[in-house]
Structure 1
Amino acid sequence: MLEDILGGLGGGGVLTLAIALFIILCVYLGIRIVPQSEKYVVERFGRLKSVLGPGINIIVPFLDRVAHKISVLERQLPNAEQDAITKDNVLVKIDTSVFYRIIEPEKTVYRIRDVDGAIATTVAGIVRAEMGKMDLDEVQSNRSALITSIKEQVEQAVEDWGIEVTRAEILDVDLDQATRDAMLQQLNAERERRAAVTRAEGQRRAVELNADAQLYEAKQVAEARRITADAEAYATGVVAEAIAKGGLEAVQYNIALEQVKAIGTMASGAGSNTIVVPADAVDAFGKAFQMLKGRS
């Protein structure tokens, strides 16, 4: 059938058809549509020619060819577990995970063969080196700083491969059973020590408060005694001043008046029918009367 078609076209028609087919083939080989998530590495005679980005791209047919199609999506390395020894000689198992993406595929395809394996080996070496600089307690408490340090060092190591490390994680830090038991004993001992310190602090505080209370009581008693002494001294001074000014007779007169008032108070009490008068009451009344008469 093809021979019948070619025979019907004649010599000129065959040439035209061949040219048309050649043009179609050139268009097919020369136009490359690259997806958004990929980049194409183009070679010419086995050497790097260019890198095609997303969209429509034109290359030279029969001379250029797409040698590599590289995904630029973020990738995650399989979780890796490696042994490491801390600064205080504790064996731990570190479970890590790394996320990366290829940003310069022309470097990746020509400088490294196994990207995932190379990055995993680099991460393992960096993790072991960093763990050897820190004690176990520092690893547990400064995990975020350790992750940041690992990420920065991995980025520097893979920079020549055209790779960007987007995230690094330490998923788990596992200890052997003997180390766990030792840490548990240490934790219990530390708790007991803190409890003992707390009890001692409480007892010391109680003694201090008791001493302060006794000191306060002693000060208050001393202050009361001082006030009483001041009052007695003041009363003595008043009496002495009165004697100096009014003489002994004035004092006797005041005493007699006080005795009269006391007898009057006793007489005014309820149910008091009998009044007991002291033997010297009459003399007191007489003296008071004489003094009063003398004053008048």
Structure 2
Amino acid sequence: MDQFEEREKELYSKECVAESINFVVGEVSEDATSLMPHERFSCNLATILARDKEVVAVRLKVLPNGCEIYLFKNFAWLEYDYKYINKIKNYLKIISKNAPMKTCDVERNFYKEVMSYCSVKLESRLKKLKNDIQKHVNNRDVNSFKEFISTKLNEKDRNNSYKISKVCLRYYRLIKNDSNIHPKFLRHIKKVGSYFGSMKEIIECARNIHYKPLFTYVRVYYGRPEIINNHPIYSWENIIKRYTEDDHKYNIFTDRCLAKPEVMERMKKVYTDKATRQQQQQ
């Protein structure tokens, strides 16, 4: 299998997994140290391209004088999506063109655009985090998190999703290796912080003079996952484990998915050979 076929198989596998589950397949893990820079960039793009209940799969194809970005999600692309993606593309082109000089106004507009587009999904994640805090007011970890927030944000900023995401990322990086913290609470902090983390890494990539050629020419292709008979596909485990190197986390995630009948139904659709009606390896 040549490199192009390998990438095609990987992307199609991600599309199928994205079609199966209600999570952003490309969301980058803080612990996924083995990912290449272009893979992390793709994962970060997936985070800022998903709204509400959407799931997104991203493939970045590096060219000698630019790049091609292939995007798939589980809903139809709307005019609003096209306008947003074009704005993001143009912001990054300007940032890259002026690198290593900072273009503060453009970067500020980039952050605002992303926060507006992702607001529904981020608010949903913030709600889960706030529920944790309200339910466990006397918990040591919750009080530690509240104390950290109070030292970093004033009363006004505590309603600012952008600043909350930034502080959550900082806190997560401080405590992510603490095995005593409840995994669910830790996961909710991480997910809120992932927005600032993804935006920051995307900006840093655009500022990096070594990546200037990538942003010289950017072409975006839009598609929607469809199950194609006899198309080669990686297993569920192969794809999910690209985003976490922790077997325990993988098992927890898989158990959560398998507990949902609608996910099981979609998985059967994805992993059933249409010719033989037999289940393929998951």
TM-score bracket for this pair, using the shorter chain length: under 0.3
| TM-score (norm: length of structure 1) | 0.20
Larger radius of gyration, structure 1 or 2?
Answer: 1
Per residue, is there more strand in 1 or in 2?
A: 1
| TM-score (norm: length of structure 2) | 0.20
Greater relative contact order (CA < 8 Å, ≥ 6 in sequence): 2
